[in-house]
Amino acid sequence: MSDAGPAGAPARESLPPLPPPEVAPPGLTPQALALDLRTVDDAMAARLRELCYRWKLLVFKGQDLTDEEYIAFARKVGTPEPYFQDHYHHPDHPEIFVSSNVPMDGRKVGVAGTGRMWHADYSFFDRPLAFTCVFPKILPRVKRETYYVDMARVYRELPDALKKDIAGLTAFNDAWDYYKVQPWDIDRAVRELIDQWHREAPGASHPLVVRHPATGEDILYCSSGFTKRVEGVTAERGEALLRELFAFAEQPRFKHCQPWEEGDLFMWDNRTLIHHASSVPAGEQSRSYRISLYDELPFRAS
């Protein structure tokens, strides 16, 4: 009997078997694992990377890690990358990106309302991140969830004509328009803020179809949040293509809604999944700690 089940039905003792590599995963199949992340050694970390590449989303249940233990786990699994804007950083741990509307020791820490658009983390850099981990620390009393779309499945199901239309094309990804204005930006021109963003994050071109370096899956690589234009075609043609791709990818049948529960720690394959945060209703508190990771593989196989 398998010791793992769908998210919400935690495993008890050990990791589930990897699916046979010759079998393409049927789609986003989140796995819930009751594993004490303080016990993860190098061999288990390698196994978790493989699981994450194949199952796309892992949910570690019942976690009660200190910040230091969370960082230690992340360092086993990959190489943490501090966010390029340091006002997102945890005051003591730059590896931790804080999404929060709750002051810490009376001070504003991190940024509220992050990630409320379809996107892949760091897709506006030449080397997008391999994995994203999110550890909710303060959950709103009402539901909180993250939505995911498996872009490998989307590509598999894309109409052949559209596959043909985008073959060989690249698209430009940028996120300056999601910059969250901070208290110290008062009296600065919007142009100045945009220019500063682009000095730090100039944007990046990626193929519209990338091959995953671990699974070999072809992934439709774009998101309505960050993909701004298709290159090598007219603006009108590019806009029409992106409209068609986003409408196809964001169909309800592709969306997975992952609720947050106390003690959950999420880890997902940031090459394959795009994600979208839910909003926090007015008056509700929310704080989560993200650690973004690189692995040892190139961003894409082709």
- Give residues in contact with Fe ion (CB under 5 A): 115, 121
Cβ(36)–Cβ(76) below 8 Å: no
The percent of the chain in helix, strand and coil, each rounded to the nearest 5, is 25, 25, 50
Nearest approach in angstroms of CB 285 to Fe ion is 20
Per-residue H/E/C for 245-279:
HHHHHCCHHHEEEEECCCCCEEEEECCCEEEEECC
Give the span between the Cα atoms of 150 and 195, in whole angstroms. 33
> 129: which 2 tokens?
């991140």
Nearest approach in angstroms of CB 134 to Fe ion is 8
Nearest approach in angstroms of CB 240 to Fe ion is 27
Nearest approach in angstroms of CB 292 to Fe ion is 9
Q: Is the CB of 10 or the CB of 289 nearer to Fe ion?
A: 289
Q: Is the CB of 147 or the CB of 156 nearer to Fe ion?
A: 147
Q: Is the CB of 40 or the CB of 276 nearer to Fe ion?
A: 276
Instruction: Please provide the size of the chain in residues.
Output: 302
Nearest approach in angstroms of CB 268 to Fe ion is 10
Residue 231: name the closest of 172, 297, 302, 188 by CA.
172
Q: Is the CB of 122 or the CB of 254 nearer to Fe ion?
A: 122
> 137: which 2 tokens?
């620390």
Half-sphere exposure of 54 (CA within 13 A, CB side): 16
Nearest approach in angstroms of CB 121 to Fe ion is 4
Nearest approach in angstroms of CB 275 to Fe ion is 6
Provide the sign of the torsion angle of the four alpha carbons 181, 235, 172, 219, taken in this order. positive
Give the span between the Cα atoms of 57 and 239, in whole angstroms. 31
Residue nearest to Fe ion (CB): 115
Q: Is the CB of 121 or the CB of 264 nearer to Fe ion?
A: 121
Cβ(130)–Cβ(293) below 8 Å: yes
Q: Is the CB of 279 or the CB of 302 nearer to Fe ion?
A: 279
